[in-house]
Structure 1
Amino acid sequence: MSSPAGPERPPREADQIKVWFRVAPREDGPPPYETEGLWATRLGPDTARVDNVPFLRDGVAEGETVRFRTDDDGVHWAVGRVADSGNCTVRVLPVPDGPLGHDVRAVHERLAGFGLTGEVFSADFPLVALTVPGGADLRGVKALLARGRDEGWWHFEVSCDTDAWRSA
């Protein structure tokens, strides 16, 4: 049965927008970039669902709904979160002289069994940003991340977590 607004439809390419986030300074110094643009699906006149994992912006995960404002130049700036996705964001940087070297495939292979997806920043800077689904084995993910850190595979940081992550 259709609602008065019509049947739900899959997003069209026209529904894809870039939402820009300001990147806050870090304890270890200024960020390498001041902003980060994330692809999102427009849900309403000022809301969108984040469609990819952030590399730089803390406190945001893939799948979350954000509110944005559009400036005079047509740029969409995030101004707040409307709904959590239940997902977490983890960033993993392989240790160059460690057992994995710069091999981002090895990072993905070790974490793939948990259903994590992600992206690589660049070949020159093999930072892997991962989305950890809320339904994943969070205890197992955390244990493997810690093991990899302890065995010199990688450094990692959790840039967006949930209550479930913290209690796992």
Structure 2
Amino acid sequence: MESTVEKIKVWFRFVPREGWFPQDTEGLWATRLSADTARVQNVPFLQDGVAEGDVVRFQTDSEGLHWAVGRVSASGNCTIRVVPVPSGPLGRSPQAVHQHLSRFGLGGEVFSEDFPMVAFNAPAGGDFHGIKALLTQGQEDGWWHYEVGCATDEWWNA
């Protein structure tokens, strides 16, 4: 028997951050697991508290949009966002950010050419200590700013 994997977009609502983007929603691709659950398939740029691979519960509205209502299970992955400092040694290059973090095998996506933020998925079991050390060093050296959008105890304790 053949099974079909249904990709859906799950939408998240949040309060916009001051001095950040004006958006108050973000849609993430997900694989439907049941009538009201799905596994997130990409790294969030704006939504905190969720990472690639997490399973979320959603409700479908009258227009057919799937709105996240909570996280069912965590994948153990972490969401890290890095923005190169335009006047720093990397300039506005998301490729340079990727290159510096490539030794950790992180998957990431670039927000846009205008705003070269890279959202990385730091996989469960990764070298969290090494990643954190490089992120901190890069920030101290003026390469980038970074934030942690979703993390585990393993990340915080590394």
TM-score under structure 1 length normalisation: 0.90
Runs of 4+ in 1 over 3 A off after TM superposition: 28-31
User: Are 2:129 and 1:139 aligned?
Assistant: yes
- Alignment gaps of 5+ in structure 1: 1-5
Q: Deviations over 1:87-116 (max 9, x none)?
A: 000000000010000111110011111111
RMSD: 1.4
User: Are 2:111 and 1:118 aligned?
Assistant: no
Per the alignment, in what secondary structure is the counterpart of residue 146 of structure 1? helix
Which has the higher Rg, Structure 1 or Structure 2?
Answer: 1
Q: Are the equivalent residues in 2 in contact too, given 1:18–1:39 (CA < 8 A)?
A: yes
- Alignment gaps of 5+ in structure 2: none
| Paired positions, count | 158
- Map 1:7-156 to 2 at 5 A: 9=3, 12=5, 15-26=6-17, 28=18, 31-156=21-146
Distance 1:56 1:166, change over 3 A: same
Q: Are the equivalent residues in 1 in contact too, given 2:16–2:22 (CA < 8 A)?
A: no
Per the alignment, in what secondary structure is the counterpart of residue 105 of structure 1? helix
Distance 2:156 2:123 in 1: 14
CA drift of 1:29 comes to 5.1
CA drift of 1:30 comes to 6.6
Counterpart for residue 3 of structure 1: none
Give identity over the alignment, percent.
63
